[in-house]
Amino acid sequence: MAKAIAVIAGVGAGTGASIARKFAQKYSVAVLARSSTSYQSLVHEISSSGGNAIGINTDVTSIASVKNAFAEISNAFPGAPVAAAIYNVGGGFVRKPFLELSQEDFTAGYESNAKGAFHFSQAALPLLLKSENLEHPPTLIFTGATASLRGSALCSSFATGKFALRALSQSLAREFGPQGIHVCHAIIDGVIDIERTKGFQFDVPDAKLSPNSIADTYWFLHTQPRTTFTQELDLRPYSEKW
Amino acid sequence: MAKAIAVIAGVGAGTGASIARKFAQKYSVAVLARSSTSYQSLVHEISSSGGNAIGINTDVTSIASVKNAFAEISNAFPGAPVAAAIYNVGGGFVRKPFLELSQEDFTAGYESNAKGAFHFSQAALPLLLKSENLEHPPTLIFTGATASLRGSALCSSFATGKFALRALSQSLAREFGPQGIHVCHAIIDGVIDIERTKGFQFDVPDAKLSPNSIADTYWFLHTQPRTTFTQELDLRPYSEKW
Amino acid sequence: MAKAIAVIAGVGAGTGASIARKFAQKYSVAVLARSSTSYQSLVHEISSSGGNAIGINTDVTSIASVKNAFAEISNAFPGAPVAAAIYNVGGGFVRKPFLELSQEDFTAGYESNAKGAFHFSQAALPLLLKSENLEHPPTLIFTGATASLRGSALCSSFATGKFALRALSQSLAREFGPQGIHVCHAIIDGVIDIERTKGFQFDVPDAKLSPNSIADTYWFLHTQPRTTFTQELDLRPYSEKW
Amino acid sequence: MAKAIAVIAGVGAGTGASIARKFAQKYSVAVLARSSTSYQSLVHEISSSGGNAIGINTDVTSIASVKNAFAEISNAFPGAPVAAAIYNVGGGFVRKPFLELSQEDFTAGYESNAKGAFHFSQAALPLLLKSENLEHPPTLIFTGATASLRGSALCSSFATGKFALRALSQSLAREFGPQGIHVCHAIIDGVIDIERTKGFQFDVPDAKLSPNSIADTYWFLHTQPRTTFTQELDLRPYSEKW
């Protein structure tokens, strides 16, 4: 039987790459990002250490681009079932006084978080539904944020997008859970330890989220049997105020 | 001093009309709806019973249309302060298996609920901020629904829109509350007693929300002083399961 | 017909007294407090301005004391229906490192907030249920706090009590709402403007909750018809961070 | 170095036993239950398959009984650090019309869920705090339920207890998280697959939560590093309505 596939949308220097590495230990992985610079070295790294990986330039806000990405995945791994689909797209984070937001600023949060997740889910779910003989239930995971639960001042673009994404994840869990699909929503609350946040200062050590540990949690979620699904969890450093 | 204005977006046979009637007891009202058939008789009714009312054809999903509506309001009531702005737009309610949703179906919930509210808020807030010598704090109210808190199966379009609207209301409350604007979110949970729901059968009397009582609550919210603002409340019939 | 009664538990210098004054404009009021010093001048004030008021020494954590209070109320106002019962008891606020809490410290939050509310509700609900011909639906209101939604560090006693009170209010709303009783939970988030908080400094004016405005909101909740009940709302100053 | 210890309160035929078996793969386990019949065969099973286990008769609602239990644990495993403490006590589930609840009925939910958890946490936290050189952060897990988030009709006793437990878990997470203790709250939503629920009928297979899978999740939570703690998650069968 063909090795199963994990599809990860939103892969850059941080969480997405860690998720891809983790899932590549067991599955072929397809990583989607707007530009190949985001995934090239990752795909090379996985491939050269014995894994299977492809990267596909994808604009998640375009339904055609997402459809095309999934067609490429099917071509690259013919006959392989899709075991996991992970929507880890950020973007749309605009912090500005509300009256200074352009329409484009405001809708950016929705476009990348919710509308992109809609495209991704519509492409991934039919494949997850027809996957058979997998070791773990087919899994669809969405990455949320503090803003999934709280609309802060100056952050309406991001918060509207993340609230909407959470609504989508619940709606899909209630429709597709009974069909055996595990739909999860992870609320990432804190600064992630990546290149871009290297300079952030904290009073204590280990105050940033580890991308590899986020990936371990996503993998664990994937391994839960259908008797015992988690729909939502939070992840934050021990030192984070919340 | 010029009589203050209340602007109500989303006026048809139900809640919006009741809100307009209630606020017209004290203010000039401007009612916004996609088509004049939605407000003509209401405007006539208010005008002929001693109130001031104008109706303006408005597509809230178009920023130009919303800007134009507010320009008309300023022309109609020159120099009058805006005391209240109420965003009561429904729409985008699509109930369908997720995989059958078109992109237009899916985004409809966001377009009418959240993007429309963005346009409306950007037009209304500058006017609310410059209102002076009002009896009650300038007020911006958004109408939510059960789907503001729960993403049900088959309802991802509506739920993503209503979740996003709730995020927006929180973000605006946190930014503009300290500037004296009262931003509220009302969660309407149940069937509203309007023409369209006349035939709905219930086991008990009074099982539908009264539009006039919703309007009374909105008016009460408007009268709260800035020491004691409600940001969110729910409204449901005594007999509703929740 | 006998004038209806409002019973208010938890009356001191602040919110409880304002609620009593408000409801005394229409009803006879019975105010319950641990010590008569908490209500004596209030009862005198109401009585001497044309209202009806009695005060009863009550320990809400004692079922016998609460039963006795309601027996006294029936004796004082024979045949009068009970229109509203308001549980506004604070107490149990202990702020301490968890490992320094005595068992008494920890349970204090539950005792005064939840167990007291249990006693009060068991005594009040049979009277509310048999009230007839009232202008407004019989109403049971509980006063919550920020700690109803958030368990902060060092505040486990108060938070466990307020979370439990919220659970009780929901459970009662779901059981007695369909029987026509309006059960509400008000989340008071901020500093209340009372004698004890006179010295609290804020950067802006009006930064404390007005007890009279809280009372106005409670009265408004009481007047909602059964078609359109609010189960939960929050109340906070415009300047409060949340 | 002495093998570390896991303490599990609330061990019977179901989840508690599975948790003990899971943690016994790595740690010595101490299981607490009201009666030895609840743990005797479990202790025997673990011991005879190469693990270390002791059982201690404990009434969690009694502070003396809980202190005694932890003294026995220290005696049984001298010098061993405590790696995990799990509070899995149910009890207090009373389903009855509110007006038929005795005071004992009502407080039962709080006594076993929240007050018991207070005793357990006060005994466990000092030991968790002084544990050193552990592979995983010292962990304190509480078992919640659907009733942690929702006060249903007729269930005020259980819901008040579970709401209060959730408040406690948040308060402890905020106080002890920054000290490196991982405090979690797991919301178990559904019927657990144990002896007592064998006869429950469902339309689909696998409709009950697997105790072993709950245990796997608790173990996974324990292994999360302090950069990436989960404070709350839910667990439910794929087929559960929620």
Cβ separation of D161 and C161 shorter than 8 Å? no
Closest-CA residue to B99 (of C163, A208, D111, A127): A127
Cβ separation of B180 and C238 shorter than 8 Å? yes
Contact B38, B94 (CB under 8 A): no
Residue in B207, B213, B229 closest to C225 by CB: B213
Angle, to 10 degrees, between the axis of helix B15-24 and the axis of helix B211-223?
50
- Model confidence at C30, pLDDT cuts 50, 70, 90, reads very high
User: Which residues from chain C sit within 8 angstroms of residue D114, using beta carbons?
Assistant: 110, 160, 164
Question: Is the CB of residue B124 less than 8 Å away from at least one CB of chain A?
Answer: no
- Collect all residues with Cβ–Cβ distance below 8 Å to A50 and sequence separation of at least 6: none
Span B31-47, pLDDT tens digits? 999 999 999 999 999 99
Question: Is the CB of residue D84 less than 8 Å away from at least one CB of chain C?
Answer: no
User: Which residues from chain A sit within 8 angstroms of residue B99, using beta carbons?
Assistant: 122, 125-126
**3-class DSSP string for chain C:** CCCCEEEEECCCCCHHHHHHHHHHCCCEEEEEECCHHHCHHHHHHHHHCCCCEEEEECCCCCHHHHHHHHHHHHHHCCCCCEEEEEECCCCCCCCCCHHHCCHHHHHHHHHHHHHHHHHHHHHHHHHHHHCCCCCCCCEEEEEEEHHHCCCCCCCHHHHHHHHHHHHHHHHHHHHHHHHCCEEEEEEECCCECCHHHCCCCCCCCCCCECHHHHHHHHHHHHHCCCCCECCEEEEECCCCCC
Instruction: Say what the pLDDT of residue A92 is.
Output: 78
Question: Is the CB of residue A161 less than 8 Å away from at least one CB of chain B?
Answer: yes
pTM equals 0.98
Span D203-225, pLDDT tens digits? 999 999 999 999 999 999 999 99
Instruction: Say what the pLDDT of residue C197 is.
Output: 94
Instruction: Quote the CA–CA distance of D85 and D125 in Å, as a whole number.
Output: 9
Query: What DSSP state is assigned to residue A178?
Result: G
Q: Tell which wins on pLDDT, D132 or D52.
A: D52
Instruction: Say what the pLDDT of residue C135 is.
Output: 97
Which fold is adopted by the domain C5-235? Answer: Rossmann fold (3.40.50)
> Residues of chain D with pLDDT > 70: what percent?
100
Touching A (3+ Cβ pairs <8 A), the chains are B, D
**Average pLDDT in chain C:** 97
Instruction: Say what the pLDDT of residue B92 is.
Output: 78
Instruction: Quote the CA–CA distance of C236 and C217 in Å, as a whole number.
Output: 12
Task: Give buried/exposed letters for B112-135 (b at 16+ CB in 10 A, else e).
Answer: bbbbbbbbbbbbbbebbeebeebe
Instruction: Say what the pLDDT of residue B13 is.
Output: 77
For an interface test with A, give the residue of D227, D229, D231, D232 to mutate (most A CBs within 10 A): D227
User: Which residues from chain A sit within 8 angstroms of residue D225, using beta carbons?
Assistant: 206, 210, 213
- Model confidence at B201, pLDDT cuts 50, 70, 90, reads very high
Question: Is the CB of residue D179 less than 8 Å away from at least one CB of chain C?
Answer: no
**Average pLDDT in chain D:** 97
Size of interface A-D (CB pairs under 8 A): 108
Cβ separation of A234 and D232 shorter than 8 Å? yes
Instruction: Quote the CA–CA distance of B10 and B8 in Å, as a whole number.
Output: 6
Question: Is the CB of residue B178 less than 8 Å away from at least one CB of chain C?
Answer: yes
Task: Give buried/exposed letters for C86-107 (b at 16+ CB in 10 A, else e).
Answer: bbbbbbbbbeeebeebeeebbb
Instruction: Say what the pLDDT of residue B91 is.
Output: 77
Span D126-180, pLDDT tens digits? 999 999 899 999 999 999 999 999 999 999 999 999 999 999 999 999 999 999 9
Q: What stretch of H or E contains A44?
A: helix A40-48
Residue in C107, C118, C170 closest to D115 by CB: C107
DSSP-assigned beta bridge partners for residue B55? B31
Instruction: Say what the pLDDT of residue A190 is.
Output: 96
Closest-CA residue to A99 (of B118, C242, B116): B118
Instruction: Say what the pLDDT of residue D85 is.
Output: 98
Angle, to 10 degrees, between the axis of helix A156-176 and the axis of helix A103-110?
30
For an interface test with B, give the residue of C169, C231, C238 to mutate (most B CBs within 10 A): C238
Residue B89 has pLDDT above 80, yes or no: yes
Domain layout of chain D by residue ranges: 5-235
Cβ separation of D224 and A213 shorter than 8 Å? yes
* Section B106-117 average pLDDT: 97
Strands B139-145 and C28-33, how do they pair?
unpaired
ipTM: 0.98
Residue C1 has pLDDT above 80, yes or no: no
- Model confidence at C102, pLDDT cuts 50, 70, 90, reads very high
Span B42-82, pLDDT tens digits? 999 999 999 999 999 999 999 999 999 999 999 999 999 99
Q: What pLDDT tens digit does each residue of chain A (242 aa) get?
A: 689 999 999 998 799 999 999 999 999 999 999 999 999 999 999 999 999 999 999 999 999 999 999 999 999 999 999 999 999 998 778 999 999 999 999 999 999 999 999 999 999 999 999 998 999 999 999 999 999 999 999 999 999 999 999 999 999 999 999 999 999 999 999 999 999 999 999 999 999 999 999 999 999 999 999 999 999 999 999 999 99
- Model confidence at B192, pLDDT cuts 50, 70, 90, reads very high
Residue B98 has pLDDT above 90, yes or no: yes
User: How many CA atoms are closer than 13 Å to the CA of C178, on its beta-carbon side?
Assistant: 11
Instruction: Quote the CA–CA distance of B84 and B134 in Å, as a whole number.
Output: 10
For an interface test with B, give the residue of A67, A171, A176 to mutate (most B CBs within 10 A): A171
Strands D139-145 and D82-87, how do they pair?
parallel
- Model confidence at D12, pLDDT cuts 50, 70, 90, reads confident
Question: What's the gap in Å between the CA of B120 and the closest CA on chain A?
Answer: 11
Instruction: Say what the pLDDT of residue C125 is.
Output: 98
Instruction: Say what the pLDDT of residue C178 is.
Output: 98
What the block records as the tokens of C133 is 């011909």
What the block records as the tokens of A38 is 């985001």
Instruction: Say what the pLDDT of residue C128 is.
Output: 98
Instruction: Say what the pLDDT of residue C92 is.
Output: 78
**3-class DSSP string for chain B:** CCCCEEEEECCCCCHHHHHHHHHHCCCEEEEEECCHHHCHHHHHHHHHCCCCEEEEECCCCCHHHHHHHHHHHHHHCCCCCEEEEEECCCCCCCCCCHHHCCHHHHHHHHHHHHHHHHHHHHHHHHHHHHCCCCCCCCEEEEEEEHHHCCCCCCCHHHHHHHHHHHHHHHHHHHHHHHHCCEEEEEEECCCECCHHHCCCCCCCCCCCECHHHHHHHHHHHHHCCCCCECCEEEEECCCCCC
Strands C139-145 and C182-188, how do they pair?
parallel
- Model confidence at D60, pLDDT cuts 50, 70, 90, reads very high
DSSP-assigned beta bridge partners for residue C53? C29
Instruction: Quote the CA–CA distance of A124 and A32 in Å, as a whole number.
Output: 13
Residue D13 has pLDDT above 80, yes or no: no
* Section B180-198 average pLDDT: 96
- Model confidence at D229, pLDDT cuts 50, 70, 90, reads very high
User: Which residues from chain D sit within 8 angstroms of residue A239, using beta carbons?
Assistant: 177-178
Span C132-191, pLDDT tens digits? 899 999 999 999 999 999 999 999 999 999 999 999 999 999 999 999 999 999 999 999
Rounded (5°) CA angle D121-D127-D132: 135
Residue D77 has pLDDT above 90, yes or no: yes
- Collect all residues with Cβ–Cβ distance below 8 Å to D15 and sequence separation of at least 6: D88, D143, D188, D192, D194, D211, D214, D215
Residue keyed to tokens 């105010």: C31
- Model confidence at C90, pLDDT cuts 50, 70, 90, reads confident
User: Which residues from chain B sit within 8 angstroms of residue A99, using beta carbons?
Assistant: 122, 125-126
* Section C195-213 average pLDDT: 95
Cβ separation of C171 and D162 shorter than 8 Å? no
Chain B: residue whose CA lies nearest to A169: B151
Instruction: Say what the pLDDT of residue C91 is.
Output: 77
Question: Is the CB of residue B151 less than 8 Å away from at least one CB of chain A?
Answer: yes
Residue in B118, B159, B168 closest to A167 by CB: B159
Cβ separation of C229 and B242 shorter than 8 Å? no
Cβ separation of B225 and C242 shorter than 8 Å? no
